[in-house]
Structure 1
Amino acid sequence: MQTSIRKAGLNDAMLLAQLGADTFRETFAEGNQPEHLRQYIANAFHETKLRQELAHPESRFYILEADGSPAGYLKLNTGSAQTEAGADTAMEVERIYVRSSWQQHGFGKALLLLAFDKAVSEGMQQIWLGVWEKNVRAVRFYERSGFRKTGAHAFYMGEDKQTDLIMTKFL
């Protein structure tokens, strides 16, 4: 299997919107109301919104391709792009999405290792992320990768208030 990871550009907005919507739906459809999920995806993964995110100077996207097909992506934020007020020495992994058909191939780990490399090369002292507390598989993955629970924040799926765990790894 041929795999590669490349930095995304503005011309990838539509691809990222589709990949994000697909992987979010695959991961979170179960346990969420369909209308809330549909509304969230329509807002969060709209091509115009992705273009704005791609244009932010403190956000970076990386697309993982397997056998020439987009299998997942990574979004990293520093500075003002972070979704929570973060230290200047912190990097956020806002999204690490892998299509369900490509899971269990080490792609999530490859994207996370890229995030660690970017954080270290940029002189960051910590890397953090938010993960839905009910996504036990992801929580365990991050714990195995050296992250520890350091807090929580509310995440709204429509009117449904959910809890995202804040997990941090010190570099």
Structure 2
Amino acid sequence: MRHATHGDEQPLHALATLTFGLACPPGTTKADIDHFIAANLSAERFAGYLADPARIVLLASGDDGPVGYSMLVRGPIADPDVAAVVDADTSIELSKFYVLSDRHGSGIAHTLMTATLAEAAATGADSCWLGVNQQNVRAARFYTKHDFAIIGVKRFLVGSEWHDDHIRLRKLP
């Protein structure tokens, strides 16, 4: 587990390409997933994320290279549904949290979450929030196990299709 740095853009993009679709509900078209990845998870976008002081990107690696990543984002909340239930001044967003499917159940996601929450707490935030698709049962179980409670709902655009997400919040130590 380490902070991602300049030079990690391509491995992060490769991970995103392999993992983003896992979080989408059945029926999401490949074209919409590909569009979202190109617009938000390209190597160029990751270069910008890594240069942004309001973001913390962690990279989890195994013996054969990168296996997961997370991204925390501090700052204003643009989504009005989230802003209605989350205090931007005292919270930090867990914007991205992905692990390769062949590593699910291995413990790496727990280790990555533990490190991510430690980084979130180190920023001085009182809470950490995230959005997760309402149909993503596996992620919902994982986030519940890590004390993220549902506090609201929001919409999330993937390509041309709107998805319904739960807003989840966890208090930080």
TM-score scaled to structure 1, two decimals? 0.89
> 2: distance between equivalents of 1:122 and 1:157?
30
Q: Deviations over 1:127-171 (max 9, x none)?
A: 111101110111111111111111121111222111111100112
Q: Is the 8 A contact 1:73 1:111 kept in 2?
A: yes
Q: CA deviation at 1:122?
A: 2.2
1:105 maps to 2:106: yes
> 2: distance between equivalents of 1:29 and 1:69?
28
1:20 maps to 2:21: no
Q: Deviations over 1:73-125 (max 9, x none)?
A: 11111124x66455222111111100001111111111111122122222211
> 1: distance between equivalents of 2:48 and 2:4?
13
1:124 is paired with a residue whose SS is coil
2:8 is paired with a residue whose SS is helix
Q: Percent identity?
A: 30
2:144 is paired with a residue whose SS is helix
1:45 maps to 2:46: no
Q: CA deviation at 1:26?
A: 4.1
**Count of residue pairs brought into register by the alignment:** 166
Q: Is the 8 A contact 2:25 2:135 kept in 1?
A: no
1:58 maps to 2:54: yes
Residue 46 of structure 1 aligns to which amino acid in structure 2?
Answer: S
1:150 is paired with a residue whose SS is strand
From the superposition, tell whether residues 149 and 77 of structure 1 become closer, same or farther in structure 2 (CA, over 3 Å): same
Q: Is the 8 A contact 1:18 1:45 kept in 2?
A: no
Gaps of 5+ in 2: none
Residue 74 of structure 2 aligns to which amino acid in structure 1?
Answer: T
Which residue, out of 55, 71, 74, partners 2:70? Answer: 74
> 2: distance between equivalents of 1:113 and 1:40?
27
2:105 is paired with a residue whose SS is coil
Q: Deviations over 1:19-38 (max 9, x none)?
A: 11111134438431121112
Q: Deviations over 1:15-70 (max 9, x none)?
A: 11111111113443843112111211221221111111111111011110011411
Residue 143 of structure 1 aligns to which amino acid in structure 2?
Answer: T
TM-score scaled to structure 2, two decimals? 0.88
1:119 maps to 2:126: no
Over aligned residue pairs, what C-alpha RMSD do you find?
A: 1.7
